[in-house]
């Protein structure tokens, strides 16, 4: 894929990292952000295809998120695999970007659910205890996001299996260079563009998030927070994060083995279906 192959009037991404939440998408975004041979949005999650109100901003707005670049566009939005909340995302993406390559990072579903609980707890402060949360609507949503087969089924209706690259989170952590190369090949990047991606940075870890004040996470989801993220250079946002970060992590409730076993039972049938869909074993998973 070269500059000459890409029209300056393009209106759709060449690839989208569609999830899963809390599975390394931020680290992957930062790796692509460093490259001078691809274009990513200044704000990691444009949410363009998430709802009709976002989609109605139009292709000119979306093009500006990539600075009207003629480079390959790589979008990132884990919200696209929150089907229980945003059921039309896959159809909307296919309507505008049917040729986009998709990337999905699959983490142990139980570990991912635990990580999302802690992430939400840090942002809200009003979450029920881990032993109680999965009887609530918030807990049900966390479980649904960990049901990968359920989340990806609409995408498999529109895209072929060859167009959806499913990455094992464990491989991303343990073999980052090989996985980055595979992602670059899937997207269609040139060897030099793949080399420009560099190493996979450590980003947005649970420990890192627990050092941020609660108001920081709450501000992200306000209109002001979304505006700042969409219009501020990434280096400025990172500087602001560093300025308000505490030295010690705020404690959060921990999951015990009994609860993890309960979650594994709730997620088992979907995990079986997901292995059937992808043909992957995910041997390191607890379910």
pLDDT tens figures, 89-105: 999 999 999 999 999 99
Q: Which residues contact 200 (CB under 8 A, 6 or more apart)?
A: 27, 28, 31, 172, 176, 179, 180
- Between CA 81 and CA 87 the distance in angstroms is 9
pTM listed for this prediction? 0.88
Segment (H or E) for 110: helix 109-124
Domain borders along the chain are: 3-109+147-201+271-278
Phi, psi of 250 (to 5 degrees): -75, 130
- Whether the pLDDT of residue 6 is over 50: the answer is no
User: Looking at the predicted structure, is the pLDDT value of residue 8 above 60?
Assistant: no
Work out the average pLDDT over 245-265.
89
Fold of 3-109+147-201+271-278: Rossmann fold (3.40.50)
Share of the chain above pLDDT 70, in %: 86
Token pair of 64 as six digits:
């500006």
- What's the pLDDT score for residue 209? 63
C-alpha distance from residue 80 to each of 175, 225, 249 (Å):
26, 20, 30
- pLDDT at residue 3 in the model: 40
DSSP for 174-202 reads HSHHHHHHHHHHHHT--HHHHHTT-SPPP
The number of beta carbons lying within 10 Å of the beta carbon of residue 15 is 26
Asked if 46 and 65 count as a contact pair (C-beta separation under 8 A), the reply is yes
Res 215: pLDDT: 66
Confidence at 2, pLDDT banded by 50, 70, 90: very low
Q: How far apart are CA 27 and CA 33, in angstroms?
A: 10
């Amino acid at each position: 894929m070269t500059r000459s192959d890409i029209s300056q009037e393009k209106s759709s991404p060449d690839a989208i990292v569609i999830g899963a939440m809390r599975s390394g998408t931020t680290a992957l975004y930062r790796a692509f952000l460093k490259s001078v041979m691809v274009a990513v949005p200044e704000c990691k999650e444009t949410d363009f295809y998430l709802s009709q109100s976002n989609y109605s901003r139009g292709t000119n707005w979306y093009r500006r998120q990539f600075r009207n670049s003629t480079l390959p566009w790589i979008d990132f939005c884990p919200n696209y695999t929150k089907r229980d909340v945003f059921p039309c995302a896959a159809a909307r993406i296919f309507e505008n970007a049917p040729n986009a390559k998709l990337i999905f990072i699959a983490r142990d579903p139980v570990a991912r659910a635990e990580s999302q609980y802690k992430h939400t707890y840090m942002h809200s402060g009003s979450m029920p205890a881990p032993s109680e949360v999965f009887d609530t609507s918030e807990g049900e949503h966390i479980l649904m996001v960990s049901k990968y087969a359920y989340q990806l089924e609409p995408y498999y209706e529109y895209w072929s299996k060859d167009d959806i690259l499913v990455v094992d989170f464990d491989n991303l952590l343990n073999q980052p260079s090989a996985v980055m190369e595979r992602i670059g090949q899937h997207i269609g990047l040139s060897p030099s563009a793949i080399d420009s991606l560099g190493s996979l940075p450590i980003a947005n870890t649970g420990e890192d998030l627990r050092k941020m004040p609660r108001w920081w996470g709450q501000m992200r989801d306000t209109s002001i927070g979304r505006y700042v993220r969409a219009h501020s250079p990434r280096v400025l946002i990172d500087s602001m994060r560093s300025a308000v970060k505490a030295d010690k992590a705020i404690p959060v409730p921990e999951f015990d083995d009994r609860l993890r076993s309960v979650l594994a039972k709730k997620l088992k049938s979907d995990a079986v279906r997901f292995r059937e869909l992808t043909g992957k074993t995910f041997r390191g998973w607890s379910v």
